Amino acid sequence: MSMNVDWRELYHAAMLELRPEDLRQRIDDAEKAIQQRIAELRQDDSNSGEESRALDDALRGLRVVAGMECRSAQSTLSGLGQDEAT
């Protein structure tokens, strides 16, 4: 079974990104690569259940991180508003 390494590298880079200003781009790049790989597997009519599960898991993980990023940004913005009001 030949697995595409590119999507995994991008996924790991997104999951390990520590700079908030770079996180959104890393997530977007990884999601794009994962969606592309999913399309390739469908097009090739490849029956790679293990990789398909890994792709699904990776997308879920990225969505969790993206959701946390949004909540963190909202908390920061609402905190700024509270500081200005006092």
| pLDDT at site 1 | 34
Cα separation, 11 vs 65, whole angstroms:
11
DSSP readout, 22-86? HHHHHHHHHHHHHHHHHHHHHHTT---HHHHHHHHHHHHHHHHHHHHHHHHHHHHHHHHHHHHH-
In total, how many domains does the chain have?
1
Domain region containing 49: 5-85
Residues 59-68 pLDDT 10s? 999 999 999 8
Residues 17-44 pLDDT 10s? 999 999 999 999 999 999 999 999 888 8
Cα separation, 52 vs 65, whole angstroms:
20
Model-level pTM? 0.76
Is 18:44 a contact under the CB 8 Å cutoff? no
